[in-house]
Structure 1
Amino acid sequence: MRLNRRRLLGSMAALGAAATLPATARAQDSIWDMFARDRVMRNIDTGANTAYANARVETIEPILSFDTAYNLSVAISRYEPFVAAGGWEQVPREVFGLKLGDSRRAVRTLKFRLMASGDMKPAERANDMFDEELDRAVRGFQVRHGLTADGQVGEATFYALSVPAHERLNQLRLNLARVEASAATLGDRYAVVNIPAATIEAVEGGQVSQRHTAVVGRIDRQTPILSSRIHQINFNPYWHVPKSIIQKDLIKYMNEDPEYLTKFRIRIYDGNGRELQPTQIDWSTNEAVNYMFRQEPGAENSMGHVKINFHNPHAVYLHDTPTKSLFAENARFHSSGCVRVDGVNQFVAWILRDNGGWDTEIVDGMFASNERLDVDVKAPVPIHTTYITAWANRQGTVSFRDDVYQFDAEGRVTFA
């Protein structure tokens, strides 16, 4: 039976009071433990530890490339004998909640687990203090798994620690097949949306020119796997609300707040282009799906200041967003299939490179103006949305992401 976060956390909840053991243990700390913890806390630069962790995963190699395929092969060759020898031990629930300065037996267990996965230097012995070395190792583990590097063994970190080594090996093998299937089809310049990582790469000359955090489709409204070309940029666009969102979301919002459309500057039009008022619609029914809903350009527009178009049968696109806070989350699966782009001004300038005159400063000026403008891309940029949950870089660092859409569980290599 494959491990998943819901099953794991459900079993923890069933344990009741035992799941809160770290807090109980803290109450039993001696005064000497407190002195030791204070000494540790005073002398550690956690910011430097996070920077070290980030440096381990940094790479110019595109996730879809023969370089990444080679790096995955090397990682597999390391994991295979390790898994054959039994892999790492399952972490006990006592490591849940551990953080810098804690002192108890579970800390030693956590250290040996991170030694086994290469996040700490191997040693025959380990003490019970959550010290600087362990803080650096936990942050490194978190960055490798796409988690916020806070150095604490929270829910998401505990789940990632609990995935068995043989499942990680299977993940590496499956994703090697995916990367190899795609790498040969790519040109010199393209963009890649990696859905499980919720990231975007702008690739040029075999190297990543830009990398952006993204928000992608949630599990019940998935971002589709596709290949297309970015052909047009819409500055300060109108947002025409899709019928699916009208039916699933907008009607509900209007029943909760009759002023919702007014607050977010969304207008209603019938089939003849005549504007209607919200009071003219029966919100207790599905009548609203018969009309067109259009949000005006501006700061509250759901697409932000720009929409990035590419032909596809799913009516999805890339866009800006007014809810920038989502980019700071671990699990960025919130959209209805479209993809929101952090630092979108830089990405748009990169797309429009061959148009001439479109640097980041000019793009920012267009955003600030709220002026409606459509720009055709003179050299349409290939774009690929893909599903890679494991990869490695030339430094030997292996990264993993959750199988959010369960494509790994299904063993899917291709998605046509």
Structure 2
Amino acid sequence: MARTLIKTVLFAATVMALGALAAVAANAEPARSYDIFGDSPAAAPAAPSQDYSDRSSPSSSFVDDPWAVDWIDPWDAPRRIEDFENAKAPMSDAPTLGDAGYWPLLRAISMYKNIVEWGGWERIPKTGGKLEEGIVDELRVPLLRKRLIATGDLTGAGGNPTVFDADVTRAVQRFQSRNGLLPDGVIGRRTLEALNMSAKARLALLERNLKRINKLSTTLGERYIFVNIAGQKLEAVANGRVERRHRVVIGKVDRQTPEYTSKITFLAFNPYWHVPQSIARKDILPQVRRDPSYLKRLNMRVYRGYGGREVNPYKVNWNQVNERTFLFRQDPGPRNSLGTVKIHFPNPHAVYLHDTPSKSLFGRNVRANSSGCVRVEHVHDLTTWILKAQGWDRKRVDALVASGARKDVRLKKTVPVYMLYLTAWVDEHGVVNFRDDIYGRDGRHASL
């Protein structure tokens, strides 16, 4: 039974790879890249289980019925797939939103629907300690290999099936990378949980996230910014092509970044930070009550409301005030929580994109550390991109930042910003990605 399942999956994956390569060769969909080693959204025989929209399908030369093809012995599939390695398309500039992201995700749904119909994959037991290269395990390693083959992370069936070898390590790293896990090649608790999520649950996540993408208007704008909250990534898109990608820091679990659509209206250089009342209550006041010099160290001033007079913090009994008593404002400078620039768009949540003095956070694998706003890595590059239409270049941006001068620059033409919570999508390499539902917005789908 297990041998039959492996052969079936390898057979289907090989035909899908050929279909993808045929489409690339024919320039059927030139904006998309395909990764024949991953969960490629290439041709799949089954139709999606739901009608998601009235979008018309793009022209394609994908194989319509792989089961009707007079094909090779499927046990030759690993070697033959490897033959196509040099034909893999380069990184695509196709965006996550719009048709460029919709159709690959729809094809991924078809692929996972087939896996569910084939019976999915077996769970790998939690007992026996962690799995890593060099381990020999007659039960768990064969199950791990079959699990990785099922989704294309492991493309070969060679070697001793009970040995965790270098090929398995690379396959695990690949799986970890596309699941937002630290790609160390070791099967620890979090990796095991991701591997053991059922095919049915994965399919449900893909379908749920397709709906999230589809709910946005197909008219996104000539230039726009997309923030994938769960993916902790940002795309700057112009004329249907991604021109910049940035890592971002999102809100903590108890201070979640909201899903929202708005338009960027101005950028504040060397900004003041007017502390929201919620942050004043949770963060600032507890610190000041312990140490009034905390405000001075952070270059923070205290006022009696907007437009009110400044208050000497050493003359305040902080145990008798609350977050509504005073306004806290942090001056521009190296310790300012907004960094050197704030990218403003109207919204009822008081969130925006901004720089940060805590650059080390961008090196983390999971970056849910803010109070709800989105911190952007290399924000001056993004700032330059936004202001490019008004004749700005990076040199001008850097000069203004270096001057320390407070300046608001209004956009002559607003730039849409879309903040969406995606836990499944197809990336610029054509690989299906999943991320932890850190905010618990996927509900029951994550536990199927």
Q: Give the TM-score of the pair, scaled to structure 1.
A: 0.79
Q: Which amino acid aligns with 2:370?
A: S
Answering whether residue 410 of structure 2 is matched by residue 368 of structure 1, we say: no
> Secondary structure, in 3 states, of the residue corresponding to 1:289?
coil
Counterparts of 1:309-320 in structure 2 under 5 Å?
A: 309-320=344-355
Which one-letter code corresponds to 1:241 in the other structure?
V
The 8 Å contact of residues 236 and 367 in structure 1, kept in 2 or not, is answered as: yes
Which deviates the most, 134-143 or 121-130? 121-130
Could you tell me whether the CA contact under 8 Å between 1:64 and 1:183 is conserved in 2? no
Across the aligned residues of Structure 1 and Structure 2, the Cα RMSD in angstroms comes to 2.4
Match of 2:110 in 1: 77
Q: Distance in 2 between matches of 1:327 and 1:159?
A: 25
Cα distance change of structure 1 residues 362 and 132 upon mapping to structure 2, 3 Å threshold: farther
**Cα distance change of structure 1 residues 88 and 410 upon mapping to structure 2, 3 Å threshold:** closer
Moved more, 80-89 or 107-116: 107-116
Which residue does the alignment assign to 1:276?
311
Structure 2 residue ranges without an equivalent (≥5): 1-84
Q: Which residue of 1 aligns with 2:184?
A: 150
Matched, 1:210 2:223: no
The aligned counterpart of 1:86 is 119
Question: Does the CA contact (< 8 Å) of 1:98 and 1:153 recur in 2?
Answer: yes
SS in 1 for 2:143: helix
Q: Which amino acid aligns with 2:386?
A: I
Q: 2:235 aligned to 201, 222, 244, which one?
A: 201
Are 2:302 and 1:265 aligned? no
Over residues 310-357 of structure 1, what are the superposed CA-to-partner deviations in whole Å (9 max), with x where a residue is unaligned?
11122211100011121122222222221100111110000001110x
In the TM superposition, residue 393 of structure 1 has moved relative to its aligned partner by 4.6
SS for the counterpart of 2:215 is helix
Contact in 1 for aligned 2:133/2:164 (Cα 8 Å): yes
Partners of 1:113 and 1:384 lie apart in 2 by 35
**1:385 corresponds to which residue?**
419
Deviation (angstroms), 1:156? 3.2
Describe the shift of the 1:394–1:315 C-alpha distance in structure 2 as closer, same or farther (beyond 3 A): closer
State how far apart, in whole Å, the 2-side matches of 1:245 and 1:56 are. Answer: 46
CA contact (8 A) 1:234 1:374 kept: yes
1:382 is displaced (CA, Å) by 0.7
Q: 1:131 to 1:257 in 2, by over 3 A?
A: farther
Match in the other structure for 1:330? 365
> What displacement does 1:128 show?
4.0
SS at match of 1:290: coil
Contact residue 237 and residue 303 of structure 1 kept, 8 A: yes
Does residue 178 (structure 1) correspond to residue 212 (structure 2)? The answer is yes
Structure with greater helix percent: 1
Cα distance change of structure 1 residues 354 and 410 upon mapping to structure 2, 3 Å threshold: farther
Does the CA contact (< 8 Å) of 2:303 and 2:327 recur in 1?
yes
SS in structure 2 of the partner of residue 203 of structure 1: strand
Query: Following TM superposition, by how much is the alpha carbon of 1:125 offset from its aligned partner in structure 2, in angstroms?
Result: 6.3
Residues in 2 aligned to 1:285 and 1:404: alpha-carbon distance in whole angstroms: 37
Task: Give, in angstroms, the shift of residue 366 of structure 1.
Answer: 2.7
Alpha-carbon distance between aligned partners in 2 of 1:208 and 1:258, rounded to the nearest angstrom: 47
Deviations 1:92-121 (A, max 9, x none): 224763334444444443322211221001
Residue in 2 that maps onto 1:65: 98
Deviation at 1:232, TM superposition (A): 0.6
Report the AA paired with residue 91 of structure 1: I
Cross-structure match for 2:342: 307
Distance 1:384 1:132 in 2: 41
CA distance in 2, matches of 1:90, 1:260: 52
**1:260-279, CA deviations, whole angstroms, 9 ceiling, x for partnerless residues?**
21211111112463222322
* Cα distance in 2 for residues equivalent to 1:56 and 1:294: 50
- The reply on whether 1:341 has 2:349 as its aligned counterpart is no
TM-score by length of 2: 0.74
Match of 1:405 in 2: 439
The residue that corresponds to 1:6 in the other structure is: none
Cα distance change, pair 392–56 in 1 and its aligned pair in 2 (3 A): farther
* Alpha-carbon distance in structure 2 between the residues aligned to 1:322 and 1:104: 47
Question: 1:57–1:143: 8 Å Cα contact kept in structure 2?
Answer: no
- Kindly indicate whether residue 291 of structure 2 is the aligned counterpart of residue 239 of structure 1: no
Among candidates 251, 255, 279, match of residue 285 of structure 2: 251
How do 1:56-135 residues align onto structure 2 when only pairs under 5 Å count? 58-94=91-127, 97-105=130-138, 106-123=140-157, 126-135=160-169
CA pair 152-207 structure 1, distance change in 2 beyond 3 A: same
